[in-house]
Amino acid sequence: MSSFVWNEKYRVNVKDLDDQHRVLIGLVGQLDDAMREGKGKQALGLILGQVIAYTKTHFAAEERLMKACGYPEYHEHRLIHEKMTTKVVELEQQFKSGRAMLTLDVMKFLTDWLQKHILGTDKKYSPFLGSPSSN
């Protein structure tokens, strides 16, 4: 079983966004599981594609909610999303072009990225957008 799983510490108190975070963490967990089974390189391309597609959907939903609620750090948060999306797309392009890429490095990037983004950047909007009763 993956060492990177949903934990209540990731809760931002916005049900839809928490559900989306669970999916993203689950995708990274699938890569972790594949690596533990010795199938990391085979799973990497598929999972990176899924992470990219779902991240774009999630970021759009998060940004719509922040904008609709007048979240004061909306523009800064959006720029962080753009940088993160660009980095993950670059990783996928490197993988597709056959350039050497270690699955472990990608796994570390994805887990660090999700943890830091959810626990840092996303937690900032939690008191503004979320409520304990929204979950």
Residue 2 lies in a domain: no
**CATH for 29:** 1.20.120.50
For residue range 12-51, list pLDDT tens digits in order. 999 999 999 999 999 999 988 988 888 887 888 888 889 8
Whether the pLDDT of residue 124 is over 60: the answer is: yes
Residue 80 lies in a domain: yes
Interior/surface letters 78-115, b for 16+ CB within 10 angstroms, e for the rest: eeebeebeeebeebbeebeeeeebebeebbeebbebbb
Q: Which two tokens stand for residue 48?
A: 């990176």
Residue 3 lies in a domain: no
Residue 135 lies in a domain: no
Counted domains in the chain: 1
Predicted confidence band of residue 134 (pLDDT cuts 50, 70, 90): very low
What integer pLDDT is reported at residue 135 of this predicted model? 44
Whether the pLDDT of residue 132 is over 70: the answer is: no
What are the residues whose beta carbons fall under 8 Å from the beta carbon of 107, sequence distance 6 or more?
28, 31, 32, 35, 40
Q: Which two tokens stand for residue 4?
A: 């990177």
Residue 132 lies in a domain: no
> Residue written as tokens 């759009």?
60
For residue range 62-100, list pLDDT tens digits in order. 999 999 999 999 999 999 999 999 988 888 888 888 765
How many CB atoms neighbour CB 117 within 10 A? 18
Predicted confidence band of residue 133 (pLDDT cuts 50, 70, 90): very low
What integer pLDDT is reported at residue 58 of this predicted model? 95
Range of the domain at 79: 10-127
